[in-house]
Amino acid sequence: MNSNLRLIISAIVSFSFYFAWSYWANSMATDNQALVLRSALVQGTLSATITILFTFILEKSVAKFGESYLSLVFVVPIICTVHSKTSQNIAIFKTFKNALDNSAKYLNNNVVPGTLLAPLLPISIQTSIAIGVNWLNQTPNLWLTVAPSIFITAIYGYVYTFALLSKPKQPVLQE
């Protein structure tokens, strides 16, 4: 199955599940069926859209951080050097990053693999959007509506990350 078809099927499944979940969760909070249906449509559409966006951001994040290591000892210097813009600082940053990567691999008991960090950005974006959209919609049972979405998205993010990293790399053919 190609990636576009897999993505479309995931979006349809996401819409269906979260539409039904939101309808059930909000029908317990109010008798206003128009509000319940609107909340279900908002959550279903949001979930389908977020599935597509989340997967795109996750693939970019995994490509950037998936096979890296980040030593916990070096988190503060990395954060401080990220904000520098001059060419000298960029050269220093690249040298420093290389030293950090090498030391992190050497100190593998004290590092966080990029595999664990890569899904955090898309998960936080999805969480913010889901809460914000449902809050604006005045969803009657906000937390019961969005909590499964956030939890299942986090699981999906880590499973998808491990699946991406477990694919064998394609050899580069030279002519």
List per-residue pLDDT tens for the chain, 175 residues long: 666 777 788 889 989 998 998 899 888 888 889 989 998 999 899 889 988 888 888 877 777 766 666 555 455 455 555 555 555 566 666 776 777 677 666 655 554 566 677 788 888 888 898 899 888 888 888 888 888 888 888 898 888 877 777 766 555 455 4
Looking at the domain assignment, is residue 172 inside a domain?
no
| Phi, psi dihedrals of residue 68, rounded to the nearest 5° | -90, 170
The number of folded domains in the chain is 2
Q: What are the helix (H) ranges across the chain? A: 3-27, 33-65, 75-82, 87-106, 114-117, 120-136, 142-166
CA distance linking residue 160 with residue 9, whole number of Å: 15
Q: CA dist 48 to 2, 26, 135, 170, Å?
A: 18, 19, 18, 30
pLDDT confidence of residue 12: 92
Q: Are 142 and 28 in contact (CB under 8 A)?
A: no
Looking at the domain assignment, is residue 171 inside a domain?
no
CA distance linking residue 107 with residue 111, whole number of Å: 7
pLDDT confidence of residue 150: 86
Domain that holds residue 51: 3-66+118-166
58, 128: one domain? yes
97, 129: one domain? no
pLDDT confidence of residue 76: 47
pLDDT confidence of residue 159: 85
| Gyration radius (Cα) of the chain, Å | 21
CA distance linking residue 19 with residue 129, whole number of Å: 16
8, 36: one domain? yes
**Alpha-carbon 86 to chain mean position:** 31
50, 131: one domain? yes
pLDDT confidence of residue 92: 65
